[in-house]
Amino acid sequence: MEGLMDLLQSDMGKQIINGVSSQTKASQSQTQSVLSMALPVLMGAMKRNAASPEGAEGLMGALSNKHDGSILDNLGGLFGGGVDQSVMDDGAGILGHVLGGSQQNVTSALSSKSGLDSNTVGDILKIAAPILLGYLGKQQRQQNVQSSAGLGDLLGGLMGGGSGRQPKQQSMIESLLDGDGDGSILDDVAGMVLNSGGNKKKGGLGGLLGGLFGGR
């Protein structure tokens, strides 16, 4: 099973990075940096949300309807002439549902880490969110996932990637998502991205993601 690392390193991933970069006017390297940090955070939050029966049912419903993966079949159309406002609005809705009240904290953290302003980071996330759900929907169909337990396993596998290292790295991501054990997942993530060189989190999320996306 391909994971997020495989996606961003694939031809499709390059097309996504190039398209998002053109849409937001951010450089390709900055766009890739934001996506490399943000996609595992978003998927980790989805995994935590899907741990409840209601959350799993809601996500399965979204994947069975609007976010079935078809968005990935015409990325040229998605980015050609600019991303449609309906896609941006859809992305904003997804972010609000997944990140909740921590959305601004996460955006600010990614802005600080990438060097992009918060508005640009916010636009990158709005475009990335429907693409990420579409990717999840396509994987759900390919793996024939029909249960909430299977959905959790699918999300965990995608977070870890297909390199054979996922059990350890998946565990690291999940523990980092709620580093102080208080259930406030995204607040912890925001702090970790901002303090990736600090000593509290031993390298933090930034260091971990460096290992996931091409580092050692």
Give the tens place of pLDDT for each residue, 189-215: 545 544 544 333 333 444 333 333 333
Note the pTM of the prediction, 2 decimals: 0.76
pLDDT at 206: 40
Extract the tokens encoding 93: 């809705």
Extract the tokens encoding 14: 């390059």
* Whole-number Å distance between alpha carbons of 45 and 51: 10
* Arithmetic mean of pLDDT over the chain: 77
Across the range 30-58, mean pLDDT stands at: 87
If DSSP states are collapsed to H, E and C, what string results for 118-170? HHHHHHHHHHHHHHHHHHHHHHHHHCCCCCHHHHHHHHHHHHHCCCCCHHHHH
Residues recorded for the chain: 216
The model's confidence at residue 123, banded by pLDDT at 50, 70 and 90, is: very high
Residue 83 has pLDDT above 80, yes or no: yes
Is the separation of the CB atoms in 26 and 124 below 8 Å? yes
